[in-house]
Amino acid sequence: MKQVTRILEGVGSVVQLLLRSASYTGTLPRQWSRFIEQCYLIGYTTLPIVAILSFFIGTVLALEAGYAMQDFGAKEFIGSLVGLSMARELGPMMTAVLLAGRVGSAITAELASMKVYQEIDALTTMNISAAKILVLPRLAAVLVMMPVLIVISNIVGWFGGSVVARYVSYVGISPEAYFAALRHFTKFKDVMNGMEKAEVFGFVVVLVCCDIGLNTKGGPREIGAAVTRGVVVSLILILVLDYFVTKILL
Amino acid sequence: MESSCSKTRNPFTGAEANAVAVRVDHVCKEYDGTEVLTDVTFDVKPGEIFVLMGPSGSGKSVLLRHIAGLELPTSGTITVDGKDPSLEATRDAVRIALVFQEGALFNSLSVYDNLALYPREHRSGDEKSIDQKVMHALKILSVEDAARKFPSELSGGMKKRVSIARALVMEPQLLLYDEPTSELDPVMSATISEIIATLKHEYSVSSLVVTHDRALALTISNRVGILMDGKLVTLGTSSDLTKSKDPRIDDFLNPKIDIEHPRFKKLETKEAT
């Protein structure tokens, strides 16, 4: 029962934070520099690891697909499998998982340490809303940067698959055939669905991590606990939301 | 008794505003069933320096956080200028600045940006006038050379002074200080005490100072309250306090180091009996 109460409290707190942040949307143009800074942190600094991960996801997909399909003589469909898997599922989900691990943990740690060291209290006494200057720019930045990360993740993942398709002996199909199948089966709608998923995941990760950071109580030890909680809750939410968002989008 | 229509003078423009009064009325606070404040009642008159003293863990900082509107009492009321300080509307109407014990400076911002945050967010003037305010406040506290530094590069004393400068930029009507001289050497403590007194005399800001510092309390205060175990045990001027016959107050203000009969042994003896 206590667990249920805590979960409901958490949901209420996140919704409140969302509403408070949304009420300051009109101030975003004046927070341009904070928004750009967050775009840099969320987008630019996450980009290399997203690219590396996506490349190897693409290669593994092509390897597995090639291995499974060689018996059926359906190797020319590897492109479609890699294309659809990356665009609809693995691109958005793995990018969101990376976001939770890299950006979510950093956000939770920063806000939790601001809370523990009374910087949030200082903001309150100055009548400056933490939702306005700390949460809103991050939410706006993740909404702008997630599609960019997804496009790059998809392109790099597709390219990774083509490298395997071309150079691994038991796969051995030309890049032209690989990309022809990919283009034929992967529609613009699939890419858009993936982006919509990524937007939902990214937004939830940042919102939840901000909330956990801002609600941290205690000393420095609690900062570490808050980071762990932020990442774990984010990962669970990504997987749970994945089912429901996929169901809605299909 | 000071007039209730005492005026604060804006340190930057010289404009006058009403100094505010604080009323703490039968305030109790409990955390998980443990009472940390018990029926505390006092008031801070407009433009006075009220010092709240007491042993560690007596509830002074908790009370200060309540007056700043950061926490709500379990029972009783706190008003600043007749309004509830925990409401955003009150903080819009009455400028309450709190100087935190550890400074609570924003570590990701330079000293200059720490001070400029409030006027920028509240759009009080263009960048030029904000710059003048910030540099003026830094100059008053003699930390203008630290403007481009980050909080992590400052000493404890400088952090305190920057923290007071940040409070000053808010053009406060009520200034709350939480242990402003803790962890400072005697000279720096005296400097901070002088700064608090100067701010009061020059700008007539109502001030509430929580401190252990006997010299600060007895030198610059208009009135002093002593809080022990969450209860306000005495309230009066500094001379009232020094003349007090209450052994607890005498022991707190003039603790004697008795090697023959140390306090911790006394406690053991009490338990044994």
Does the structure show a pLDDT above 60 at B272? no
| DSSP characters over A52-93 | HHHHHHHHHHHHHHHHHHTTTT-GGGHHHHHHHIIIIIIHHH
Does the structure show a pLDDT above 60 at B162? yes
Q: Which two tokens stand for residue A25?
A: 């949307």
Contacts of A118 in chain B (CB under 8 A): 100, 102, 104
- Distance, in Å, from the CA atom of A69 to the CA atom of A101, rounded to the nearest integer, reads 34
Q: Which two tokens stand for residue A65?
A: 């697909």
Q: What percent of chain B has pLDDT over 70?
A: 89
Q: Where does the pLDDT of residue B1 fall: very low under 50, low under 70, confident under 90, or very high at 90 and above? A: very low
**Per-residue model confidence (pLDDT) at position B265:** 61
Instruction: Give the amino acid at B267.
Output: L
**Per-residue model confidence (pLDDT) at position B10:** 60
A 118-137 near B (Cβ less than 8 A)? 118-119, 121-122, 124-128, 133
Residue ranges of domains in chain B: 15-272
Does the structure show a pLDDT above 50 at B114? yes
For B32, the 3-state DSSP assignment is coil
Say if B100 is an interface residue toward chain A (CB within 8 Å). yes
| Smallest Cα distance from A94 to chain B, Å | 30
**Pick from A118, A121, A127: which is nearest to B91 by CB?**
A127
* Residue segments in chain A with a per-residue pLDDT below the cut of 50: none
- The number of beta carbons lying within 10 Å of the beta carbon of residue B204 is 21
Whether residues A121 and B98 touch (CB distance < 8 A) is answered with yes
**Per-residue model confidence (pLDDT) at position B3:** 41
Please state the pTM of the whole predicted model.
0.86
Q: Where does the pLDDT of residue B123 fall: very low under 50, low under 70, confident under 90, or very high at 90 and above? A: confident
> Alpha-carbon dihedral of residues A9, A15, A20, A24, nearest 10 degrees?
160
Mutate to test the interface with A, among B88, B102, B118, B150 (most CBs of A within 10 A): B118
Say if A33 is an interface residue toward chain B (CB within 8 Å). no
Say if B117 is an interface residue toward chain A (CB within 8 Å). yes
Contacts of B106 in chain A (CB under 8 A): 114, 119, 122
Whether residues B68 and A125 touch (CB distance < 8 A) is answered with yes
Q: Give Cα separations from B208 to A206, B54, B55, B171 (angstroms).
A: 39, 14, 17, 16
- Distance, in Å, from the CA atom of B139 to the CA atom of B161, rounded to the nearest integer, reads 10
Contacts of A128 in chain B (CB under 8 A): 117-118, 121-122
Cα maximum dimension of chain B = 70
Mutate to test the interface with B, among A126, A128, A214 (most CBs of B within 10 A): A126
Q: What is the mean pLDDT of residues B162-188?
A: 89
**Per-residue model confidence (pLDDT) at position A168:** 85
Helix (H), strand (E) counts: chain B: 10, 11
Q: What is the mean pLDDT of residues B186-215?
A: 85
Whether residues B97 and A121 touch (CB distance < 8 A) is answered with no
Nearest CA in chain A to B66: A125
Look at residues B57, B136, B134, B123 and name the one whose alpha carbon lies nearest to residue B92.
B123
Q: What is the mean pLDDT of residues B168-173?
A: 89
Contacts of A122 in chain B (CB under 8 A): 98, 100, 104-106
**Per-residue model confidence (pLDDT) at position B88:** 87
Q: Which two tokens stand for residue B172?
A: 């406060």
Say if A218 is an interface residue toward chain B (CB within 8 Å). no
- The β-bridge partners of B83 are B80
Residue at token pair 């209730």: B4
- Distance, in Å, from the CA atom of B8 to the CA atom of A246, rounded to the nearest integer, reads 61
**Per-residue model confidence (pLDDT) at position B2:** 41
ipTM of the shown complex: 0.84
Contacts of A110 in chain B (CB under 8 A): 108
Which residues, 6 or more positions from A146, have their beta carbon under 8 angstroms from its beta carbon?
A95, A99, A195, A198, A199, A201, A202, A203
Contacts of A133 in chain B (CB under 8 A): 121
- Domain B15-272 belongs in CATH node 3.90.1150.10: no
Q: What is the mean pLDDT of residues B60-65?
A: 93
**Per-residue model confidence (pLDDT) at position B5:** 44
**Per-residue model confidence (pLDDT) at position B255:** 76
Does the structure show a pLDDT above 90 at B257? no
Condensed to tens digits (0 to 9), the pLDDT of residues B8-20 reads 656 555 555 556 7
| DSSP characters over B158-179 | HHHHHHHHHHHHT--SEEEEES
Q: What is the mean pLDDT of residues B78-91?
A: 90
- The number of beta carbons lying within 10 Å of the beta carbon of residue B81 is 19
CB B158 within 8 A of CB B127: no
Q: What is the mean pLDDT of residues B239-258?
A: 80
**Pick from B88, B104, B121: which is nearest to A122 by CB?**
B104
